[in-house]
Amino acid sequence: MKIAVFSTRSYDQYYLDRANTAHELIYFNNHLRPETVRLAEGCEVACVFVNDQLGRPVINALAAGGVRLLALRSAGFNHVDLTAAADAGITVVRVPAYSPFAVAEHTVALMLGLIRNIPRAHARVREGNFSLEGLLGFDLHGKTAGLIGLGRIGVLVAKILNGFGCRVLAADPYARPDNNAAIELVDNQSIFSQADIITLHCPLTPQTHHVIDATTIEQMQDGVMLINTSRGGLIDTQAVIKGLKTGRIGHLGLDVYEEEGDLFFDDLSDKIISDDIFARLLTFPNVLITGHQAFFTHEALTAIADTTMVNIDAFAAGQRSGNEITKELVTGS
């Protein structure tokens, strides 16, 4: 099959070429947008990533150009208009799991980086400044961590935090207790009121959009640490900035950002950042941001490429892939 691969970076091409056995892959550096959708003309598959735009106009244009399969190189599918895809007769497949360890470990890396001020300490040492003023941390041991979302990644984060000696609370309306981890299943309210560290591991849905907002921040402990490696839209960034200014939020670690589509995955180091909210976040000494790299390990990229090719092979063979995004998956029924 002829496959248009959007948002390609050198690593995507390397791992997809390794996994490909039968197909013609055409790589585009461009993100998929209304103005770039014509690049897929004549291809049967469009292979996309998290910041490609897949609203109805793009989906319809893909279908008009011959695309019948949308192969997501991600687990999250909140950026895809699935109704439009169904209307256009386009099948959508994804990579439901690719090293949840990668994301869980990065989540804890953000926590530790913030707690022990690692980026600031490193910058000082490079300058020959060995002062410890302002670098005071705290022990993770004995702290209460609250997880919102206890799926594949959440459970791993819980287990790692168990290892540090944390008390772990988790809120997830659909979670089943895991006997291999010490986790107390609670509601969001208990997390907001009790947790020293709150970390988000649920998908972005209408129910979880801005689960962290001015109201919920008010319910949190003073100086709480907030970590988001899931999706930017879970957090109302303006409310979080207010929380940082008042000190209610003591540390913020982000791997995702609501408006990341115009920023992440590109080298903008010689450009002016026009997003004033993001620019404000960068001014806080107690904020640590990575550019959606939690998934970015050798193991995860191998799994993403392998599963993407298995999904495409199944479609080419006329089989239904177990990784198809169905209505049941979306409604949770």
Residues engaged in binding ligand NAI (CB under 6 A): 75-76, 97, 100, 103, 148-154, 171-175, 201-203, 205, 207-208, 229-231, 255-256, 292, 294-295
Can you read off the two tokens belonging to residue 214? 């001015």
Q: How far apart are CA 165 and CA 186, in angstroms?
A: 19
Q: Residue 261's CB: how many other CB atoms inside 10 A?
A: 16
Q: Which is nearer to ligand NAI, 39 or 186 (CB)?
A: 186
- For residue 170, the cross-strand partners are 147, 185
Q: Which is nearer to ligand NAI, 135 or 330 (CB)?
A: 330
Q: Please report how close the Cβ of residue 72 comes to ligand NAI at its closest, in angstroms.
A: 11
Q: Please report how close the Cβ of residue 170 comes to ligand NAI at its closest, in angstroms.
A: 8
DSSP 197-214: EEEE-S---TTTTTSBSH
Active-site annotation holds for 41: no
Active-site annotation holds for 292: yes
Q: Please report how close the Cβ of residue 315 comes to ligand NAI at its closest, in angstroms.
A: 23
Which single residue brings its beta carbon nearest to ligand NAI? Answer: 151
Q: Please report how close the Cβ of residue 266 comes to ligand NAI at its closest, in angstroms.
A: 16
Q: Which is nearer to ligand NAI, 90 or 202 (CB)?
A: 202
Give the residue among 147, 189, 187, 193 at the shortest CA–CA distance from 166: 147
Q: Which is nearer to ligand NAI, 131 or 333 (CB)?
A: 333
Q: Which residues contact 45 (CB under 8 A, 6 or more apart)?
A: 1, 2, 3, 4, 23, 67, 68, 69, 70, 71, 312, 315
* Catalytic choice (23, 44, 201, 260): 260
Cα separations (Å) of 118 from 137, 143, 216? 10, 19, 29
Q: Which is nearer to ligand NAI, 69 or 110 (CB)?
A: 110
E strand or H helix at 46: strand 45-48
Q: Please report how close the Cβ of residue 38 comes to ligand NAI at its closest, in angstroms.
A: 29
Q: Residue 288's CB: how many other CB atoms inside 10 A?
A: 22
* Catalytic choice (94, 231, 248, 251): 231
Active-site annotation holds for 280: no
Residues designated as active site? 231, 260, 292
